[in-house]
């Protein structure tokens, strides 16, 4: 399982990785059918398939077949999807927990892939980490572990992270919004 986060260079990183190692990716299907077609067609130019983010059976099945599947846990789908967990700098709600557990269900290794623009604008740098070790089996510990991974990747180039997507909109009860 390839874990990624939402940087400005996300689509370019997917294209580069797909040229080297075509893979599958999880995503949220677009509400507009035309935009869904455009989005999927563009992403499929260098990759094998797009899997809806809620299709756990499809994700686990692909991993069990030895496919590389890209997944971004840095989404915030609200309080019902996942409770807030503290990271070092922020409290955040990662994407619903089921996909994070799919490597355990499938036996797949997990690693991160992040592409960021170089500070001098001379090109991009692709970071591929070694396989994650010691991934917790407890849901809360797994979420905290994943939040640390997300934070580490964001800190490679925080100015290039897609903060506008409001990744931290769900706050613990009583805490004010970070976006006001």
Question: What is the number of domains present in the chain?
Answer: 1
| Residue 88: predicted pLDDT | 43
- For 6, the domain range is 2-165
Share of the chain above pLDDT 90, in %: 37
Is 180 a domain residue? no
pLDDT over threshold 70, residue 93: no
Is 179 a domain residue? no
Is 61 a domain residue? yes
Is 142 a domain residue? yes
Summarize pLDDT for 28-66 with one digit per residue, the tens: 899 999 999 999 998 998 889 999 988 888 998 999 999
Is 40 a domain residue? yes
CA 56: distance to chain centroid? Answer: 15
pLDDT band at 139 (very low <50, low <70, confident <90, very high): confident
pTM for the full model?
0.80
Output 128 or 178, whichever has higher pLDDT. Answer: 128
Contact 15, 4 (CB under 8 A): no
| Residue 14: predicted pLDDT | 86
Please state, in angstroms and rounded to a whole number, the distance separating the CA atoms of residues 103 and 130: 15
Is 161 a domain residue? yes
pLDDT over threshold 60, residue 104: yes
Residue 112 tokens read as 């991160």
Is 73 a domain residue? yes
Please state, in angstroms and rounded to a whole number, the distance separating the CA atoms of residues 69 and 25: 5
| Residue 163: predicted pLDDT | 84
Is 51 a domain residue? yes
Write the CB contacts of 99 (distance below 8 Å, at least 6 apart in sequence). Answer: 26, 53, 56, 59, 71, 73
């Amino acid at each position: 399982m390839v874990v990624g986060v939402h940087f400005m260079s996300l689509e370019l990183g997917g294209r580069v990785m797909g040229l080297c190692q075509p893979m599958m990716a999880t995503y949220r299907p677009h509400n507009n059918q035309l935009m869904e077609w455009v989005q999927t067609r563009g992403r499929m130019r260098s990759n094998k398939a797009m899997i809806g983010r809620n299709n756990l059976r499809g994700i686990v099945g692909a991993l069990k077949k030895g496919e590389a599947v890209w997944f971004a846990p840095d989404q915030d789908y609200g309080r019902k999807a996942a409770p807030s967990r503290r990271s070092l700098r922020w409290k955040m709600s990662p994407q619903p927990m089921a996909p994070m557990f799919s490597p355990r269900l499938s036996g797949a290794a997990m690693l991160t892939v992040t592409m960021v623009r170089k500070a001098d604008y001379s090109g991009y740098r692709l970071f591929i980490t070694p396989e994650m070790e010691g991934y917790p089996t407890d849901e809360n510990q797994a979420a905290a572990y994943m939040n640390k991974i997300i934070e580490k990747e964001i800190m490679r180039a925080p100015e290039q992270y897609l903060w506008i997507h409001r990744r931290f909109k769900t706050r613990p009860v009583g805490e004010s919004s970070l976006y006001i």
